[in-house]
Chain A
Amino acid sequence: MRYVRIFFIFFQDAFVNRSTSFVWFLLALFNPLIALLFWRGAFQSGGAALIGWSYQMIASYYLLLVVANTLLMPHIEMEIARRDIQMGMLSNYLTRPFPYLLLKLFSELPWRIIQTFFAVSVLLFITIGLRVNVHIAQDPFLLVFTLVIAAAAHLVAFMFKMVLGLSALWVTDFGGLSEFADVVIIIFAGFVVPLALFPQWLRPIAEASPFAYMIYYPLVSLLGQISIAGMIRVLAGEIIWFSVLFVLYRVMWTSGIKKFTGIGQ
């Protein structure tokens, strides 16, 4: 119950800043919609016939990508690097008897929920109001398994962003690193095109990377494009990546905290 109460206190902070959430949601909305417009043009001109995906599948992919992005992708790295480390606010966390990792998780979850509320509202408007057919898996078991994969995906993304943020303990110009990470995530998490459409030489690399487990796999699971065996493999991959990132986080935290000088405090 203690954790639930802490979550609800953080929820109030995110709720009071719901306009900020809405701006973040718009960012998550526009890129997939623009990509969808491009695909629409490609299909209408017949140029997309060879990819093996129907327009309905592509449309479903990008519309659900908005929901997946708002729900699964945390944006904690800048706050960790700039506010906590570079401005010294980490001191406030270090002198309180509660793990920093959990406080960050609790503070981020409400933002995901509020932004997802906006995303689902838009999705419902598109599917019901505009009568666009969004394809998702029909088997309830697959849907439940997708939820498990999605939860694990969020944890993988969360740990990656924690590690990225903590790198500010060593890196002076965090902005450059963050920009680079964003570009890599956009490409390898499936924001630009589904990884299935990647060139043959790049596809195995992209599919094995942690970024695919953050967004792409939960998304194609929801679309019903992965079998049960495939889902189990995805979950195993998520557990492996989470474990690797968690160990990396622990190593960085243990050694980085000794470097932390609380500059700005």
Chain B
Amino acid sequence: MIISVSDLSKHYRVHKKEPGFLGSLRSLFHREYETVKAVDDISFTIDGGELVGFIGPNGAGKTTTLKCLSGLLYPTAGRVSVLGFTPFDRKTAFLKQIALVMGQKNQLWWDLPASETFLLNKEIYEIPDSEYKKTLNELVDLLEVEQILKVQVRKLSLGERMKMELIAALIHTPKVLFLDEPTIGLDVVMQKKMRDFVRAYNEMHKSTILLTSHYMEDVRQLARRVIIIDHGKILYDGKLDQLVKKFAKYKVLSVILESYVPPDKLKEIGELTDYDFPRAVIRVPRSASNVAAAQILQKFPVDDLNIEEPDIEDIIRDVFTRKP
């Protein structure tokens, strides 16, 4: 087991102020505070080589958890162990084996080529020359960035910069990689390239990767296991395909009608979520999907009918809105 989290909590004390000048005056004499539970008593373990997707809406606690795991944040309560270390001790041996990549911030020098940041990290991580050259060549080949190694960072596109960020973060070949929104702001082509790289890197080095992303496609393409977090609590931890069975209490009947049927008639079958004649989409309870399909075929002029699993993004949205 590479990562072990038990009963982890991270709470913040936030100052509350009433709006307006009077509120400012009042807060001078009497400050009100509120405790925000960014992470609230969560536990999970991750084995070596796993690539786990961390999903949650804004403010769910994903990044806070990642920061606790990488030693950036001091937990309010609970125990965290990464590679046998307590992250917040930030021991040199620990820091040499991890990397944290945050999509919205960078460590590259703006006015120098990215290769200078790689050299700095080589010295900081005390990487021998031969190992440095080998790793750099491997990463440069994987990310196809040889042509831009000597270009000033400020002149690179966002996607190119993100690739360089990854090289800077991986130059010491970390055993554990924390990726926080690595594809944020990138176009779909670049998002795919980044996903391909993360997958290839995980397979090549058997490194443990914990990934957060707003893009479901990132998680769907990369992670077999997902942890869903909301309001600081874990709602689901398991395989992505199991998520459908556990939370999708309904199926989707996609119907192509031969002739027009009033919506009210279709609503008698189940929840009509979309109707744009000739296509209608009806949600029905999972256990009643076969019966509902038979009813549709009997009652209406049907050209085609499909029974489908709901979209994974819909399931997750339902999990967050608590109406599975």
Contacts and interface: CB of A to CB of B under 8 A. Distances in A.
Contacts of B121: 96
Contacts of B109: 13
Contacts of A13: 109, 111-112, 116
Interface in B42-92: 63, 67, 70-74, 90, 92
Interface residues of A, number: 26
B136 interface: no
Contacts of A257: 74
B71 A94 contact: yes
B100 A95 contact: yes
A260 B70 CA distance: 14
A91 interface: yes
Contact of B123 (A5, A12, A94, A258): A5
Nearest to B94: A97
A16 B117 CA distance: 14
A45 B109 CA distance: 53
A89 B102 CA distance: 11
Contacts, number: 66
Nearest to B106: A92
Interface string B188-210: 00000000000000000000000
B281 interface: no
Contacts of B71: 94-95
B123 A262 contact: no
Interface in B102-154: 102, 104-105, 107, 109, 111-112, 116, 119-121, 123-126
Contacts of A2: 123, 126
Given A6-B120, A261-B73, A88 B12 contact: no
B111 A91 contact: no
B90 A92 contact: no
Interface string A135-150: 0000000000000000
A95 B98 contact: yes
A265 B123 contact: no
User: Which of A2, A95, A257, A260 has the most C-beta atoms of chain B within 10 angstroms of its own C-beta?
Assistant: A95
Contact of A95 (B12, B72, B116): B72
B214 to A, nearest CB: 16
A265 B102 contact: yes
B96 interface: yes
A143 B73 CA distance: 48
B74 A94 contact: no
Interface string A47-87: 00000000000000000000000000000000000000001
Interface in A92-141: 92, 94-98
A6 B123 contact: yes
Contacts of B107: 92
B95 interface: yes
Interface in B141-185: none
A9 interface: yes
Nearest to A6: B123
Contacts of B74: 257-258
A264 interface: yes
B219 interface: no
A97 B96 contact: yes
B164 to A, nearest CB: 14
Nearest to A92: B107
Contacts of A16: 111-112
A261 B72 CA distance: 8
Given A16-B111, A96-B124, A97-B95, A262 B72 contact: yes
B100 A91 contact: yes
A17 interface: yes
Contacts of B119: 5, 9
Nearest to A3: B123
Given A91-B67, A260-B73, 6 more contacts: A5-B119, A5-B123, A6-B124, A13-B112, A87-B105, A260-B72
Interface of B: 12, 63, 67, 70-74, 90, 92, 95-96, 98-100, 102, 104-105, 107, 109, 111-112, 116, 119-121, 123-126
Identify the 4 closest CB pairs spanning chains A and B, nearest first. Answer: A97-B95, A97-B92, A258-B74, A92-B107
